[in-house]
Structure 1
Amino acid sequence: MTPPGLSLRGRHTAHLPGGTRAALRELLDLVYEGDFSSDDWDHALGGLHTLAWLDGRLVGHAALVGRAFLLGDTPRRVGYLEAMGVHPAAQRRGIGRAILRRVNLQVARGYDLGALSSSDEGLALYRAGGWAVWRGPLGVMTPGGIVPTPEEAGGVLVYAPAGNLNLTLPLTCDFRGGDVW
């Protein structure tokens, strides 16, 4: 159940007004307790933002950004979930679940699958929302070739709208600055 007065709006990064961008960055710094780096901010830009407004105040966010992955040896278009968070004063009220439902629809409409790297605190929300922990080997495509990322085991989740995804195949993400997952 979502709280009365909650409004979800989708906007591409290019259509976020400057004031909304500033409020969003402030929200993410608060949600991530000062551990939201410039790389993290950069990773959240260039895609579709789901913004949660409660009584006219920005209280939640998720960004779905397109990335290129390999599933085994097959290239896949992936909607990668970035910068998901809810203001601490508005948590445990169904806002995160509402945002995730919207994200799941966006993945189903535009990507082969969704992927994310979860914090320990977020695992239960994502699992309840239909996301599954990846069980196969993980890696990153670098300029020098594919490099394994076993340290990410247990924290990478996927959402497969079409179902029947083999979660034991190798999953390889594209290279980027900062955290690759």
Structure 2
Amino acid sequence: MVRIAHTAQLPAADLLAVRALLEGAFTDFDPPGWENTLGGLHALTFDGDQLIGHASLVQRRLLHGERVVNTGYVEGVAVHPDHRRRGVASALMAAMEELLPGYEVGALSATKAGAPLYAGRGWQQWRGPTFALTPDGVQRTEDDDGGVYVFPGRVSLDLEGS
């Protein structure tokens, strides 16, 4: 069973459990990664009292061509190692995808291990160059190239564009 709650509705103990799950799942998980996970809706799956899976959906604005696209960005998808390959990640993504019609498009950044899950669910790999808006202005993010996936929505996208 997947429980959906906004960040503001999660008890401190649940937030601590989410952070511990993400820190265990990603060796490079850092404070900015944690901040990116907050402020939206969370999908949580428990085995008894133990958190075994998490995903969140936060609002982002992506600039594509000359258009700002209202985007539901999936963050912090992780499943406890003892519960992988049992459909938990698919259930979490199904919950996130049910919320995507509220946005013009869905997007996420996939690890190599996670990419087959997303592709199998209809997420499409962004093949164009990626950039980020930083305090220093727009910066090229070559490390993200090939790892961004989008979920078709109300806006047509050129997957070769920037």
The verdict on a shared fold, with TM-score over 0.5 as the criterion, is yes
Q: Give the distance between the partners of 1:143 and 1:19, measured in 2 at CA.
A: 33
1:151 to 128, 143, 146: 143
- Long gaps (5+) in structure 1: 1-6, 171-181
Corresponding residue for residue 137 of structure 1: 129
Deviation at 1:73, TM superposition (A): 0.9
TM-score by length of 2: 0.91
Deviation at 1:112, TM superposition (A): 0.8
2:34 is the counterpart of 1:41: yes
Corresponding residue for residue 91 of structure 1: 84
Q: Give the distance between the partners of 2:94 and 2:155, measured in 1 at CA.
A: 16
Q: Give the distance between the partners of 2:32 and 2:24, measured in 1 at CA.
A: 16
Letter in 2 for 1:82: E
Of the structure 1 ranges 155-164 and 132-141, higher mean CA displacement relative to structure 2 is found in 155-164
Q: Give the distance between the partners of 2:89 and 2:53, measured in 1 at CA.
A: 7
Alignment RMSD, CA only? Answer: 1.7
Q: Give the distance between the partners of 2:59 and 2:147, measured in 1 at CA.
A: 19
Of the structure 1 ranges 69-78 and 160-169, higher mean CA displacement relative to structure 2 is found in 160-169
2:156 is the counterpart of 1:160: no
Letter in 1 for 2:11: P
Q: Give the distance between the partners of 2:105 and 2:89, measured in 1 at CA.
A: 20
- Long gaps (5+) in structure 2: none
Deviation at 1:19, TM superposition (A): 1.3
Number of aligned residues = 162
2:73 to 73, 80, 92: 80
Q: Give the distance between the partners of 1:28 and 1:142, measured in 2 at CA.
A: 24
Corresponding residue for residue 10 of structure 2: 16
Q: Give the distance between the partners of 1:17 and 1:77, measured in 2 at CA.
A: 28
Q: Deviations over 1:112-139 (max 9, x none)?
A: 1111111111110111111111012221
Change (3 A) 1:56 1:145: closer
Q: Give the distance between the partners of 2:135 and 2:24, measured in 1 at CA.
A: 35
Deviation at 1:141, TM superposition (A): 2.6
Letter in 1 for 2:150: V
Percent identical residues: 39
Q: Give the distance between the partners of 2:31 and 2:139, measured in 1 at CA.
A: 24
Deviation at 1:163, TM superposition (A): 7.4
SS in 1 for 2:111: coil
SS in 2 for 1:93: coil
Q: Give the distance between the partners of 1:69 and 1:12, measured in 2 at CA.
A: 22
Report if the CA contact (8 A) 2:37-2:76 is conserved. yes
